[in-house]
Amino acid sequence: MTCSKEVFRADLFDTSEKYDQANDFTSYHTELDFESLYPDQKSALNEIENFIKSEDEKIFILQGTSLSGKTC
């Protein structure tokens, strides 16, 4: 009996990539019914908005279990 397994190998990570300029999302607009969100989603959205507007904050981690509403 022989078993075979397909192995995926990713390309090496290129640490020399430069990102000197961030993308400009200041003109991005979407329709959102803020009132239809759950309280914790509203809170998370406010945190994200404060982060985006902040000049000091550089890293934002959005975490949560699957199906917890991170994409809403």
pLDDT in tens, 23-59: 776 777 778 888 998 898 899 889 888 988 888 888 8
- pTM listed for this prediction: 0.48
What distance, in Å, lies between the first and last C-alpha atoms of the chain? 49
CA angle 38, 68, 60 (to 5 degrees): 90
For the stretch 5-18, pLDDT in tens is: 677 777 777 777 77
pLDDT, position 72: 58
- 39/71 Cα distance (integer angstroms): 15
Two structure tokens written together for 36:
């239809």
Tokens of 44: 């998370």
C-alpha triplet 66, 70, 72: angle, nearest 5°? 125
> Residue 39: its pLDDT value, please?
92
